[in-house]
């Protein structure tokens, strides 16, 4: 079963049919590099078959841990940065009411899932601690190494809070570590302290890890049906496995992106018309940016939350530099709807009264798309039928496999991130981390 469609009809004035067919030989090579494991970065492609070959025993432990957290905690604090939190946050926002995390405890069906360790801002951390208050809480620390600065600082703070509240033994029962299977400082600490542990697989990079314990535990705690999430991803694995461009929408997306890139469209905007999709855009930006932004190449990933952003940078999209193209994520069936009231009011809405807001929202998306296309902005549409776990799983896999193909088409390694280490080295040097003394001196001189 497939719940996702890919519409390229609005590309007709930008890309000819023959251009797509001419990409087939290159796509076939990229497919072989990805599927046969002969491309650079192949050691990080275990996500390809993760939806069908995941660890079933660990999956059951994740479900059991989620139930325990739901039974003894009002809050789960997820400590992680980048791929260690973006997928879970995107999924929880996608699957829940927009204001779900603002509900009072008595109105909630599941614990409040909050995120820490994704910045070094003290005001954010103090606000989060204030929000938890005296409520019962647990912590899921997610880090492959355990030494990444942002989550390491946050974990120290929350570990201390847990020990102050529950004692050392009680704290151990409320800390869940998702980390490397065999090595690293967090793995060592988790073994010594007896935390329940889950694995960040060696062959799955952080930005591809939402369908591992990294994303599954926080999603399950927040009430998400992770069995359906994996089923949707498995449907994607099956649907997007053919190297034939005419049969594979994910490969079509990768090919069209590269055609547009070669024509000078160097920035892609992922567009939504529902605030519950905002964080999905943040997850997508890491997936695209870390996979493709290297060797002086790559499409710059950005996002737009419409119709809100039409009243901010919408003018630029319409009339600015013609280096933009848009990919719209759209949901066919709204989760809920509102009927516009009928009333005697001089507000100019008489022609809309009695209509559904979802109709107005979809019509706004269509009108905006036509205006942008007329203004020289290519548009593609990724549409899912419903906003549920199955559709989300399939959409996650769609973008993951597409970026793998897209990276190989552009002649880069889609599965490393060498540039991420540059800022870390400088930060360690300026903070005086042992082993960076020589760098510390040179950086301080530059400052």
What's CA 337's distance to the chain center, in Å? 26
Nearest to 51 by CA among 415, 389, 413, 331: 389
Please enumerate in sequence order all residues whose Cβ is within 8 A of that of 9, keeping only pairs 6 or more positions apart, or say none: none
Tokens of 281: 């855009």
Distances from the Cα of 214 to the Cα of 20, 201, 218, 220, angstroms: 36, 10, 8, 11
User: Which position among 67, 247, 297, 424 bears the catalytic label?
Assistant: 424
Using an 8 Å Cβ cutoff, are 327 and 271 in contact?
A: yes
- Report residue 139 as tokens: 């912590």
Phi, psi of 6 (to 5 degrees): -125, 120
Q: Which residues of 259-275 are buried (b: 16+ CB within 10 A; e: fewer)?
A: bbbeeebbebbbbbbbe
For the record, the structure tokens of 155 come out as 């974990």
Task: Let me know: does 254 contact 367? Beta carbons within 8 Å.
Answer: no
Q: Which residues contact 241 (CB under 8 A, 6 or more apart)?
A: 248
Burial of 405 (0-12, 13-18, 19+ CB in 10 A): buried
3 state SS for 233-254: HHHHHHHCCCCCHHHCHHHHHH
290 as an active site residue: the answer is yes
50: nearest Cα among 403, 404, 393: 393
Residues listed for the chain: 447
381: DSSP letter: E
d(CA 44, CA 59): 21
CA 86, CA 118: separation in Å to the nearest integer?
9
Candidates 150, 290, 292, 326; catalytic one: 290
Q: What's phi and psi for 76, nearest 5 deg? A: -115, 125
Calculate Rg over the CA atoms of the chain.
Answer: 23
* CA–CA dist 116, 128 (Å, integer): 8
Work out the number of other CB atoms within 10 angstroms of the CB of residue 219: 28
424 catalytic per annotation: yes
* Strand bridging mode 196-199 / 300-305: unpaired
Active site residues: 290, 424
């Amino acid at each position: 079963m497939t719940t996702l469609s890919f519409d390229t009809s609005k590309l007709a004035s930008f890309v000819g049919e023959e251009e797509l067919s001419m990409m087939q030989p290159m796509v076939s090579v990229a497919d072989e590099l990805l599927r046969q494991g002969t491309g650079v970065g192949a050691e990080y492609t275990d996500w390809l078959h993760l939806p069908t070959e995941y660890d079933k025993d660990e999956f059951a432990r994740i479900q059991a841990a989620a139930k325990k957290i739901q039974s003894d905690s009002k809050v789960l604090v997820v400590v992680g940065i980048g791929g260690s939190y973006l997928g879970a946050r995107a999924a929880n926002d996608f699957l829940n009411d927009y204001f779900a995390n603002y509900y009072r405890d008595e109105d909630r069906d599941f614990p409040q899932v909050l995120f820490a360790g994704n910045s070094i801002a003290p005001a954010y951390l103090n606000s989060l601690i204030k929000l938890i208050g005296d409520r019962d809480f647990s912590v899921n620390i997610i880090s492959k190494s355990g030494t990444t600065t942002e989550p390491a600082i946050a974990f120290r703070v929350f570990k201390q809070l847990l020990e102050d509240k529950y004692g050392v033994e009680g704290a151990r029962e409320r800390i869940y570590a998702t980390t490397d299977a065999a090595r690293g400082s967090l793995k060592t600490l988790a073994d010594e302290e007896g935390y329940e542990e889950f694995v960040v697989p060696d062959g799955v990079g952080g930005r591809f890890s939402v369908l591992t314990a990294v994303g599954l535990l926080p999603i399950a705690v927040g009430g998400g049906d992770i069995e359906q999430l994996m089923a949707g991803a498995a449907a994607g694995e099956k649907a997007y496995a053919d190297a034939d461009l005419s049969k594979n929408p994910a490969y079509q997306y990768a090919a069209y992106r590269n055609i547009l890139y070669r024509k000078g469209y160097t920035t892609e905007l992922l567009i939504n018309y529902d605030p519950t999709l905002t964080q999905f855009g943040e997850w997508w930006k890491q997936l695209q940016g870390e996979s493709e932004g290297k060797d002086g190449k790559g499409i710059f990933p950005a996002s737009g939350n419409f119709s809100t952003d039409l009243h901010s940078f919408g003018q630029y999209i319409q009339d600015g530099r013609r280096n933009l193209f848009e990919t719209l994520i759209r949901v066919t069936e709204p989760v809920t709807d509102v009927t516009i009231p009928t009333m005697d009011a001089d507000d100019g809405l008489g022609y809309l009264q009695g209509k559904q807001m979802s109709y107005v929202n979809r019509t706004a998306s269509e009108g905006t798309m036509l205006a942008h296309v007329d203004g020289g902005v290519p548009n593609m549409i990724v549409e899912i039928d419903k906003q549920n776990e199955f559709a989300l799983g399939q959409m996650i896999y769609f973008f993951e496999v597409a970026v793998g193909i897209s990276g190989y088409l552009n002649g880069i390694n889609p599965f490393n991130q060498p540039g991420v280490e540059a800022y870390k080295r400088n930060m360690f040097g300026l903070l005086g981390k042992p082993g960076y003394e020589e760098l510390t001196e040179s950086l301080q001189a530059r400052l």
